Structure 1
Amino acid sequence: MATLVFLAAAMMLLSGCTEVNKEINADSEGYWNEYVVYPFSQVIVKTAELVGSYGWAIVIVTIIIRFIILPLMIKSTKNMKEMRKLQPEMQKIKEKYKSKDAVTQQKMQQETMALFQKHGVNPLAGCLPLLIQMPIIFGFYQAIMRTEAIKEDTFLWFDLGSPDPYFLLPLIAGATTFLQQKITMADMTSQNPQMAMMLWLMPIMIIIFAVNLPAALSLYWVVGNIFMIIQTVIINRKYDNEASLENQ
């Protein structure tokens, strides 16, 4: 839940960031601009020169970035599934140590950590991919928003520098966000009402942002979501098959 809230807050912060309105170029100052945003901008520009379209360049670079961070996502997904399997045992530990005094709570934490170590699960492993992804995703986000050449190009039925006039991309972005989260969270929503609320909240936020921001960003969200949907389905099937073999 914390990661989703952090992502939502970060998106809102970035959407209102004044830096987004400043064109990125070789003269842009600051470590963030020089070593993150500008290199991403150049990758998009060079890719567009090769394929002849900034729209296709965004699609291609988005997929490349997703492949780069794929190992982290695989590790995070597997760790999350292992955590879910341990939920019954974790609940038993909580019931065993119901007292709120410091000594009892310390014993509960020690027994919980012993359970994690026994099964090779790291409760913080889900945070690491998020922390590594954020600079990459936000840097690419700003590169799209701050590269003037992108704003002047068109792709399919929309101008990359303007909101989609037919609102199709925002709706697709919202729908794919919902589907991606539903597949990722799976049975977590039935166990946690807050997760169920976030399942609807994030897509709505994405649609609101996408309606008002350049279509280039909506395109990035749609491609990234579709990649993550396919990625999660494949990882889940592989994990379930491995679990079935282990239980035989």
Structure 2
Amino acid sequence: MESQRNLLIIGLLFVSFLIYQQWQKDYGPQPEVITATNTVNATPAGAHPDVPASATSSDDSDLTQATSAGQLITVTTDVLKLKISSQGGDVVSGELLAYPIEEESSEPFVLLEEDANFTYIAQSGLIGRDGPDASANGRPIYQVSSSNFELAEGEDQVVVAMTYQDQAGNQFTKSFTLKRGSYDVDVTYEVTNNSEQALNLQLYGQLKQTEKEHKSSMVMPVYRGGAYSSDSTRYSKYKIKDMQKANLNVTTTGGWVAMMQHYFVTAWLPDENSTNQLYSNANNGFVFMGYKAPAHTVAPGQSEQLSSSLWVGPKLQEQMAEAAKHLDLTVDYGWLWFIAQPLSKLLKFFHSFVGNWGIAIILITFTVKGIMYPLTKAQYTSMAKMRLLQPKMAALREKYGDDRQKMSQGMMELYKKEKVNPLGGCFPILLQMPIFIALYWSLMESVELRHAPFFGWITDLSVQDPYYILPVLMGVSMFFIQKMSPTTVADPMQAKIMQFMPVIFTVFFLWFPAGLVLYWLMSNVVTLIQQTLIYRNLEKKGLHKR
């Protein structure tokens, strides 16, 4: 029965962990807003939030934003379909062609969008004294050679070039470069100064989203909100309610800003060698996460390039790590990331051979349980030795009665004499808990499991079993583990609670993603096999009696 108590410990710790995570999301202490000196000024009163003010401009005029006034340019690759407004060059729609919105659907998942109910777009432009996006006349209307661009067969990239000329004759070309198989979009400005005075410009990029909190369940505590990285903070979330309370203001070399949700992320990635200001804002029902590059001067008769990149896509760790430093940390494994990352890589390694994520989960379960086998063996051996001491423990209780001090001394002497560690049965369980939690987050955060089938009725490992077969099988496996364990609990109430444990866990797991339930089920199956082998060995040594 000790093994059942250990299962109860695992369950209670795990549920407590989920409750704590959800409480932290809703009521936990908020991160301190970092403010820096000598940074670019915040948006002045009266300026439109879609166009951040520059350090050099004192213009407080109402800078308007009317995406609908511009022409929509569609650009399509093998993995992305973006719609870019010719007014300002904002990305107002982003479809992920390799990720359907629903299982077996022909419609792609829409990451960026702008309609009457919800806005989530990627904006960028040039501000500063001479920036076209800081003009009192509103944001520039770019000219484009076509309204439709498509990556042709045999080509590696497609370029969308948009041009604008101001009243002084200065030429601005904003180019979007999309590469085959990539979600990393290069955004480049080429500025030609045709005037007689130097141009003062500042590049910015920001993500605009409807000011709305997204709730998640205890079983699926997924995050939706902002995040950033700086030279002093590798990765930090910045929730929507944080943006509502205070503006982020961080000066950093490189860095990035992002808006995250389950499986997907959009991020602005400025030049990693420049000193950038990362900021947030909340205004008029919208929240913003953005960056401003340093002010740049273009001499008369000269041309300069200013560039950054935009990630629009799934949380693919390897590709994101290549796109920007620490961007892969948006695959949020929590504080056990150093365990979860290797487990995730091992899971992908198995999948590369078997081609089925369900089988890969089974293989990683066997691997983890195999590595933990010495601890499991030590656990059951310690439990067996403790059972052998029960008669002597009863004799001590009868001898010392209610004298707890002498009883404790007698127990410690008995443990020392018999070379038994009373914590030997629980310590291995505590060591296994971080591995289980890390694997839980690995499975939760793996976009590869989204819409990934196993076999039969399990057509999506990222959602609950539609017929609840896996949770029921998991409960049955717990029942057999319970039956295999010797009954040493004298308290009838505790014995009844233990008998209901399989039922309680089955009900709890009904809403878990099928991939996680599959892992727990296979873990129980391996436990049954290991338990059988260990008990047989202990019976030969006379340490185990049912």
Q: Secondary structure at the match of 1:224?
A: helix
Partner in structure 1 of residue 419 of structure 2? 120
Structure 1 pair 227/65, CA: closer, same or farther in 2 (3 Å)?
Answer: same
- Code of the residue aligned with 2:339 in structure 1: it is V
- Code of the residue aligned with 1:87 in structure 2: it is Q
Scaled by the length of structure 2, what TM-score is found? 0.41
**8 Å Cα contact 1:4/1:198 also seen in 2:** no
Q: Secondary structure at the match of 1:155?
A: coil
- Code of the residue aligned with 1:71 in structure 2: it is P
- Code of the residue aligned with 1:128 in structure 2: it is F
**8 Å Cα contact 1:48/1:57 also seen in 2:** yes
Q: Alignment partner for residue 32 of structure 1, among 313, 318, 335?
A: 335
Partner in structure 1 of residue 356 of structure 2? 53
Q: What do residues 75-117 of structure 1 show as CA deviations (whole Å, max 9, x unaligned)?
A: 1101101111111110110111113xxxx32222111111111
Specify which structure has the higher proportion of strand.
2
Structure 1 position 230, deviation (Å): 1.0
Specify which structure has the higher proportion of helix.
1
For 1:195 and 1:63, the matched residues in 2 are separated by: 32
Scaled by the length of structure 1, what TM-score is found? 0.87
**8 Å Cα contact 2:333/2:445 also seen in 1:** no
Partner in structure 2 of residue 140 of structure 1? 439
**8 Å Cα contact 2:8/2:501 also seen in 1:** no
Percentage of identical aligned residues: 30
Partner in structure 2 of residue 11 of structure 1? 14
Structure 1 pair 155/4, CA: closer, same or farther in 2 (3 Å)?
Answer: closer
- Code of the residue aligned with 2:532 in structure 1: it is V
- Code of the residue aligned with 1:11 in structure 2: it is F
Q: Per chain length, whose mean CA-contact separation is higher, i.e. which structure has more relative contact order (CA < 8 Å, sep 6+)?
A: 1
Does residue 171 (structure 1) correspond to residue 171 (structure 2)? The answer is: no
Aligned counterparts, 1:151-166, within 5 A: 151-157=450-456, 158=458, 159-166=460-467
Partner in structure 1 of residue 502 of structure 2? 203
Does residue 69 (structure 1) correspond to residue 369 (structure 2)? The answer is: no
**8 Å Cα contact 1:178/1:199 also seen in 2:** no
Q: Secondary structure at the match of 2:420?
A: coil
Partner in structure 1 of residue 397 of structure 2? 94
**8 Å Cα contact 1:66/1:227 also seen in 2:** yes
**8 Å Cα contact 1:173/1:225 also seen in 2:** yes
Partner in structure 2 of residue 83 of structure 1? 386
- Code of the residue aligned with 2:464 in structure 1: it is P
Greater shift in the superposed pair: 120-129 or 59-68: 120-129
Structure 1 pair 5/221, CA: closer, same or farther in 2 (3 Å)?
Answer: closer
**8 Å Cα contact 1:188/1:195 also seen in 2:** no
In structure 1, runs of 5+ residues without a counterpart are none
Q: Give aligned pairs, total.
A: 238
**8 Å Cα contact 1:152/1:160 also seen in 2:** yes
Larger radius of gyration: 2
Q: What do residues 102-156 of structure 1 show as CA deviations (whole Å, max 9, x unaligned)?
A: xx32222111111111211110111210111000111111211221111221011
Greater shift in the superposed pair: 28-37 or 161-170: 28-37
Does residue 187 (structure 1) correspond to residue 487 (structure 2)? The answer is: yes
- Write out the 4+ residue segments of structure 1 that deviate beyond 4 Å after TM superposition: 1-5, 22-25
